[in-house]
Amino acid sequence: MKIAVVGAGAMGCLYGAKLSAVESNQVTLLDVWQEHVDAINVNGLEMEEKGEILNYGQLMATSNPASVGPVDLAIIFVKSTLTAAAMESNQAVFGPETIALTLQNGLGNVDIISSHINPDHVLAGTTAHGATMLGPGKIRHAGFGKTIIGELNGQLTERISLVEGLFQEAGLETEVSDNVVGLIWDKLLVNTGINALTGLTGLENGKLLQYPEILQLMEEAVREGLEVAHALGIRLNIPDGVSHTKEVCQATAANRSSMLQDITNGKQTEIDMINGAIVREGEKAGVSTPVNHTLTNLIKFLQRNVK
Ligand code: PAF
């Protein structure tokens, strides 16, 4: 299968590398970071995983989507702040038959992608893996978990089974769900509890559990999100979001969350699509969300990079 991964951050590299190890796949990473693209093409992608260094030499990378052309499957992995821009600049990989799958964090990606291509061609899902960018062409696979994907209308179609099979073959444990909106909210709650707190404290995911004053904020942030989800009538797949968030902290204990990596690298974070989304949705639903509001504003201040 011809596959493009739009966004070669740590997670895009992880999925691209695993899929490229299956001989029948032809996988290209698309990214604007030229040094990273060049390093992958010259040395292969290097992945640190469970104490081993793996090399994926068959993985290709480019900053020129026209050189790839239309693909069968495009996996969207850019930061959710960049979804609209990435859909515009990577139009060349979306042909009339291309299926787009978003595995991004945050709320709103499905709508943005659906406004750029035929909405019937959009699939969504979540990933419980964690990965860290170590430098050009180098990542660490720092957390392991399931990938859950689905059709937006919940149907069990041939194409969703095909993508599930493709991921399984690549060693990515995958399930299909009939409740994609619930899935996105399940993951949103996890990110609500982990990402801003790691960004603010500088702690790895697992360490958030070790400090009662931080753990309390995590629980309160997720509880607010749960209240908003209930008020909006969202059917969650994981009812106990607080315990689940703690489990994800443990499963990705050594990972520096994507938001912590963004703060460290002086980049814009996904705060508006995570804790900020809980605040906005809470306003719509008449639920007050003071902890999420505070976390959102503190991260917004940090990402100003005031010295
Ligand atoms: O954004 C992230 O870093 C990840 O979604 C997660 C699951 C919190 C692991 O670090």
Q: What phi and psi, each to the nearest 5 degrees, are found at residue 192?
A: -60, -40
| Spacing, Cα 131 to ligand 1 middle (Å) | 8
239: helix, coil or strand? Answer: coil
Q: Give residue for tokens 């400090």.
A: 211
Q: Could you tell me the two tokens for 112?
A: 């943005």
Using an 8 Å Cβ cutoff, are 232 and 224 in contact? no
Q: Is the CB of 193 under 6 A from ligand 1?
A: no
What CATH code is assigned to 181-302? 1.10.1040.10
Whether residue 177 has its Cβ less than 6 Å from ligand 1:
no
The ranges assigned to domains in the chain are 2-178, 181-302
Please tell me whether the overall predicted TM-score, pTM, comes out greater than 0.85 for this model: yes
Tell me the pLDDT of the chain (307 aa) as tens digits: 999 999 999 999 999 999 999 999 999 999 999 999 999 999 999 999 999 999 999 999 999 999 999 999 999 999 999 999 999 999 999 999 999 999 999 999 999 999 999 999 999 999 999 999 999 999 999 999 999 999 999 999 999 999 999 999 999 999 999 999 999 999 999 999 999 999 999 999 999 999 999 999 999 999 999 999 999 999 999 999 999 999 999 999 999 999 999 999 999 999 999 999 999 999 999 999 999 999 999 999 999 987 7
Q: CA–CA separation, 170 vs 297, rounded Å?
A: 40
CA atoms within 13 A on the CB side of 169: 14
DSSP 3-state assignment of 296? helix
Strand-pair partners of 132: 140
Mark whether 187 is an active-site residue: yes
Mutation test residue for ligand 1: of 129, 187, 195, 247, the one with most atoms within 8 Å of CB: 195
Q: Which is catalytic among the residues 138, 187, 267, 307?
A: 187
The alpha carbon of 130 and the centre of ligand 1 are apart by a number of angstroms equal to 5
What fold characterizes domain 2-178? Rossmann fold (3.40.50)
